[in-house]
């Protein structure tokens, strides 16, 4: 039986009009009202997934009655390339492909090939990464690498088969994901990051086995605080295990850790290293330690809406602009103006002002719709 049906075209995906007016300054990279540069573009290439992770796409909501987007609604690869080109011109240096499960999108390597040709403002290759549940990596890793993908992040929430199956809720095995990670390593899609969402009472007893397993590998395990993103997962604050607790547990039970510098300003994960020098772990403290101050990310949904914050409840429809028939020759300029105006007016800092009361949740976009 359906508990609730969440319509994709709802409050949460309503549009805010874009402002195409010419901009006063042509400065790059563009900065928002809090002087944050644009750096990181996350592109969702599908809203579908072969998992039903309980914290992301619970079966009670994402069931056979759920209406996923029809193919005609998805941005085509050419449209994504057009939009990404404008973002790179305005300062984006890193593009992450996500979903849903991005490897379910047919011929994804064609898109990767197009995006891999983009160059940053200082003439370097745009860093191209992908977040996946790993189940299709054995089949696709080498093809993706050949097309120009630089790295992958693989999600894995437990090493114990029972716990993992309980979390993905569709009977995929740990072995399949570990094999996918191995395939990615063989294809040189590293350094590979492994994301573990920690949900209290469900997989927090897997923290030490996971840390211990990945300490012996070159892969970087990152613990993500379970977030109040979307409206379908019934999030409660007392199900969050804080990053500081994760770090304390690893330090006490495995080996002490020391903090190391971020790779760049605005990096989401805080980096820690075992004092023996053997291995690194990361923590993403989206709930207990807001990192809005340096947030340089913008998200493009599967059907072409821009979101300046993961917790936004309204998108900006960019697809309407690129699909309109008239004045095609002006599209690139209007697109650039729109993105400049959008970023220049950005004020988002949800995590900094989040309260324990998440009664506004009904209005927010789903993680599977916008990606991580
Ligand atoms: N399907 C791919 C995967 O699982 O890697 C890509 C999309 S998934 C939405 C991206 C990331 O978001 C995953 O690492 C997932 O674990 C994380 N995620 C999803 N829901 C979350 C939640 N409520 N809190 C924290 N992280 C979440
Ligand atoms: Fe699918 Fe990723 Fe969401 Fe899990 S976290 S349901 S794998 S989109
Ligand atoms: Fe960025 Fe919004 Fe997350 Fe803050 S809450 S870090 S602004 S995505």
DSSP string covering 297-350: EEEE-TTSEEESSTT-S-BEE-HHHHH-STTGGGHHHHHHHHHHHHHHT----H
Q: Which ligand is nearest to the CA of 157?
A: 1
Distance 310 CA to ligand 1 centre (A): 12
- Domain membership of residue 198 (yes or no) is no
Residues 252 and 183 in one domain: no
Q: Is 291 close to ligand 3, i.e. is its CB under 6 Å away?
A: yes
What value does the mean pLDDT of the chain take? 91
For the Cβ of 167 lying below 6 angstroms from any atom of ligand 2, the answer is no
Mutation to probe ligand 1, out of 367, 369, 370, 371 (largest number of atoms < 8 A from CB): 367
The predicted structure's pLDDT at residue 363: 65
pLDDT at 5 over 80: no
Mutation test of ligand 1: which of 44, 129, 155, 193 has the most ligand atoms closer than 8 Å to its C-beta? Answer: 155
Mean pLDDT of 96-103: 98
Residue 302 in any domain: the answer is yes
Task: Output the CA 56–ligand 1 centroid distance in Å.
Answer: 7
Strands 280-284 and 270-274: antiparallel
Q: Is residue 249 part of a domain?
A: yes
Count CB atoms within 10 A of the CB of residue 120. Answer: 17
pLDDT value at 304 more than 60 = yes
Q: Is the pLDDT of residue 350 over 90?
A: no
Give 284 Cα–ligand 1 centroid separation in angstroms.
12
Contact 142, 187 (CB under 8 A): yes
pLDDT attached to residue 14: 63
Q: Which residue puts its alpha carbon closest to atom 1 of ligand 1?
A: 101
Q: Which atom of ligand 2 is nearest to the CA of 100?
A: 8
Greater pLDDT, 353 or 189: 189
Tracing tokens 């970023």 back to the chain, one arrives at: 343
Specify the number of domains making up the chain: 2
Cβ–ligand 3 distance for 311 under 6 Å, the answer: yes
Residue 334 maps to a domain: no
User: Residue 370 CA: which ligand 1 atom is closest?
Assistant: 9
**The two three-digit tokens of residue 32, written as one number:** 């928002």
Ligand 2 centroid–CA 45 distance in Å is 13
169 and 248 fall within a common domain: no
The pLDDT of residue 359 is 43
- Confirm or reject: Cβ of 101 under 6 Å from ligand 2: yes
Ranges 67-76, 311-320, 355-364: which has the least confidence: 355-364
Query: Does residue 70 lie in a domain region?
Result: yes
**Distance from Cα 306 to the centre of ligand 3, integer Å:** 14
349 lines ligand 3 (CB under 6 A): yes
Question: In terms of domains, do 251 and 304 share one?
Answer: no
Q: Whose CA is nearest to atom 4 of ligand 1?
A: 133
307 lines ligand 3 (CB under 6 A): no
Q: How far apart are CA 44 and CA 212, in angstroms?
A: 32
- Quick one: average pLDDT of 233-252? 94
* Pair (115, 232) in one structural domain: no
Confidence of residue 362 (pLDDT cuts 50, 70, 90): low
Q: Are residues 50 and 69 in the same domain?
A: yes
**In terms of domains, do 70 and 90 share one?**
yes
Stretch 132-160: mean pLDDT:
98
Q: Select the more confidently predicted residue: 370 or 283.
A: 283
The lowest-confidence range among 49-58, 83-92, 307-316 is: 307-316
| Rounded distance from Cα 57 to ligand 2 centre (Å) | 7
Task: Tell me if 61 sits within 8 A of 1, measured CB to CB.
Answer: no
Q: How confident is the model at residue 346 (pLDDT cuts 50, 70, 90)?
A: very high
| Res 176 pLDDT > 60 | yes
Could you tell me if 137 and 162 lie in one domain?
Answer: yes
What domain range includes position 118? 35-190+296-328
């Amino acid at each position: 039986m359906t508990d609730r049906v969440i319509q994709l075209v709802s409050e949460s995906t309503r549009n805010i009009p874009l402002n195409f007016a010419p901009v006063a300054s042509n400065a790059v990279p563009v900065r928002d009202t809090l002087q944050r540069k644009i750096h990181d573009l996350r592109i969702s290439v599908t809203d579908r997934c072969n998992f039903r992770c309980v914290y992301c796409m619970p079966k009670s909501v994402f069931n056979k009655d759920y209406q996923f987007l029809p193919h005609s609604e998805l941005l085509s690869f050419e449209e994504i390339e057009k939009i990404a080109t404008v973002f790179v011109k305005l300062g984006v240096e890193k593009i992450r492909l996500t979903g849903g499960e991005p490897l379910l999108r047919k011929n994804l390597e064609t898109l990767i090939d197009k995006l891999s040709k983009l160059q940053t403002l200082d003439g370097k290759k745009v860093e191209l990464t992908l977040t996946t549940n790993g189940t299709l990596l054995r089949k696709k890793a080498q093809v993706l690498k050949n097309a120009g993908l630089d790295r992958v992040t693989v999600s894995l929430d437990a090493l114990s088969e029972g716990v993992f199956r309980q979390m993905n809720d569709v009977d995929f095995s740990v072995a399949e994901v570990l094999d996918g990670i191995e395939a990615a390593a063989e294809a040189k899609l590293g350094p590979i990051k492994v994301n573990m969402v920690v949900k209290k009472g469900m997989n927090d007893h897997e923290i030490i086995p996971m840390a211990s397993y990945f300490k012996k590998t070159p892969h970087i395990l990152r613990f993500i605080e379970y977030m109040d993103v979307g409206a379908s997962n019934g999030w409660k604050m007392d199900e969050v295990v804080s990053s500081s607790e994760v770090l304390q547990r690893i330090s006490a039970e495995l080996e002490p850790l020391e903090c190391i510098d971020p790779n760049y300003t605005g990096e989401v994960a805080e980096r820690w290293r075992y004092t023996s020098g053997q291995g690194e772990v990361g923590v993403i403290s989206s709930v207990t330690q807001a990192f809005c101050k340096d947030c340089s990310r913008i998200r493009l949904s599967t059907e072409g809406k821009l979101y300046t914050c993961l917790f936004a409840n309204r998108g900006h429809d960019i697809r309407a602009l690129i699909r309109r028939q008239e004045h095609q020759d002006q599209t690139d300029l209007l697109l650039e103006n729109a993105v400049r105006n959008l970023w220049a007016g950005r004020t988002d800092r949800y995590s900094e002002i989040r309260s324990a009361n998440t009664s506004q949740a009904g209005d927010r976009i789903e993680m599977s719709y916008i990606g991580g």
